[in-house]
Amino acid sequence: MRGLIFFLLLVVTSAVVKAQTRPNIILFFVDDMGWVDTSVPFGDSMVVVNKRYHTPNMQRLASEGIKFTNAYATPVCTPTRISLLTGINAAHHGVTNWTSPVKDRSTDVADDEMAPASWLVNGLSSIKGTAKTIFANTYPQLLKQAGYFTVHVGKAHWGSMGTPGSNPYNLGFMVNIAGHAAGHPQSYLAKDNFGNITGKAVAQAVPDLEEYFGSDTFLTEALTLEAIKALEAPINNKQPFYLNMAHYAIHTPIQGDKRYVQKYIDAGLDSIEANYASLIEGMDKSLGDLMNYLKEKGIEKNTVILFMSDNGGLSLVPPRGGVAHTHNLPLKSGKGSVYEGGIRVPMIVKWPGVVKANTRSDQYIIVEDFFPSILEIAGLKNYNIVQQVDGKSFVSQLKNPGYKNSSRSLVWHFPNKWQPNDGPGINYKSAIRQGDWKLIYNMRDGSKELYNLQLDVGELQNLASVERKKVDALAILLSHQLRQWKAVMPSFKTTGKIVPLPDRVQ
């Protein structure tokens, strides 16, 4: 009997030790943050826009980890967020535009020429058969099953109200703070109760933060304080945790964080851009506060931090100040576009003992790669899921940042109308990158553009007319992938015909 008791104690002790040694994981996920919206240069050198912003904690994170110069999201938020959780490319999961808080409502803007594609307007679901959703398993569900304490804080925006995906608890999170169906806050200001004012509240009013109502606490700060509170239990219990720190910042409304805004006005920015810069600095403070907390608790060496944005920086005027489509220079265009300004984003990873400090990787990766990567970081293998994962783990890249794979193809597919006007790279576009080459397909007129990103990161020189073989090869590759994934396409109103894939258009 004593031998049996000793054996059971040994098993329990071994399980506890194993739990303690598994790394904690934090995804610090920012909304609408562009590649240059930081004082960390993700190009070969500082550019003018980098010098505008003050992000010392991003600098600190980059100095302690690895920055990815060619990290990609999708043009808008919900497709990115679903690809992140499921490992599925947006063309494959079918949620190609942002989801409305209102169930069954498409967010596509009406168009005179094009009839909308039949995309999955209700987003992600954890229950098979939910109308107009993609059913898939999420990595937070798998982490939870493996003993991780899973926390979501901030923006969710995975599914419409009245569907399972609107509730983070259904997607594997044990704690949810302020995550719901909406994609932006009604207000960042606690004096406005973050939008929760009787008779004035809309779907975007931020839930769960009542203790801050009427105070001077900015939304970004409130979310950070609540995240730290939520981590107390797993840390005290020596349980590994996953924190999905998903800030609403820096999405519209572009409201100033009064802790920082004046210095940007003094530096000569207009009021809108000063507010924007203050949102970035408040987000950066949150990152620093979390890093300091990990150090205070003595767990920083066993905590992986991944920093990522859900799409490129907003570059429409209004609501931005200045000249439209210039805010992400040297990258072209911005949010909503398949040009680099809409999809290339800042990404940093810190993994003490694994990632060498102050390094960089130029290997291109895409947001669905986070699914297999996070599970590999957590040590999960042979898990059962219902979906086919398109993402590839970047853990080997963390360990060997100099390795480059130029044969892999990345695909973007946006068969939607996001804005009333077709801005640069915006509305009805698909794209593919392989190596240094990138092809863009315009569904409206069938035209194709070709760029060499190594030589022309600003996509200024269209080489389609002189590199016909490369255009044809990439068009075939893109079309093959879209067919394999059964990607949805819009149609022409005059004929009723579905837009042809790029290999069918000369």
Q: Cα 128 to the chain's mean position, in Å?
A: 25
Q: Cα 163 to the chain's mean position, in Å?
A: 21
**pLDDT < 50 positions in the chain:** 1-19
Res 6: pLDDT: 35
For domain 409-504, give the fold: Arylsulfatase, C-terminal domain (3.30.1120)
* Contact predicate 132/118, CB 8 Å: no
Q: Is the dihedral of CA 475, 478, 480, 483 positive or negative?
A: negative
Distance CA 73, CA 311 (A): 5
Res 263: pLDDT: 96
Res 3: pLDDT: 46
Burial (Cβ within 10 Å: 0-12, 13-18, ≥19) of residue 506: exposed
Query: DSSP labels for 461-487?
Result: ---TTT-HHHHHHHHHHHHHHHHHTT-
Res 14: pLDDT: 41
Tokens, residue 173: 């999170």
Q: Is the dihedral of CA 229, 347, 87, 203 positive or negative?
A: positive
Residue type, position 236, single letter: N
Res 506: pLDDT: 83
Res 61: pLDDT: 98
Distance CA 257, CA 271 (A): 12
Distance CA 339, CA 330 (A): 11
Specify the DSSP class assigned to residue 503: G
The domain segmentation of the chain, as residue ranges, is 21-399, 409-504
User: Is-above-0.75 flag for pTM?
Assistant: yes
pLDDT tens digits along 337-395: 999 999 999 999 999 999 999 999 999 999 999 999 999 999 999 999 999 999 999 99
> Between the CA atoms of 54, 29, 237 and 6, what dihedral angle is there, to the nearest 10 degrees?
-130
pLDDT tens digits along 150-173: 999 999 999 999 999 999 999 999
Distance CA 505, CA 273 (A): 42
Is residue 238 helix, strand or coil? Answer: coil
Residue type, position 356, single letter: K
Res 193: pLDDT: 98
> Hey, what long-range contacts does 433-437 have (CB within 8 A, 24 or more apart)?
433/72, 433/364, 433/409, 434/406, 434/407, 434/408, 434/409, 434/410, 434/474, 434/477, 435/406, 435/407, 436/406, 437/470, 437/474
Distance CA 309, CA 438 (A): 21
Q: At the top level of CATH, which class does the domain 21-399 belong to?
A: alpha beta
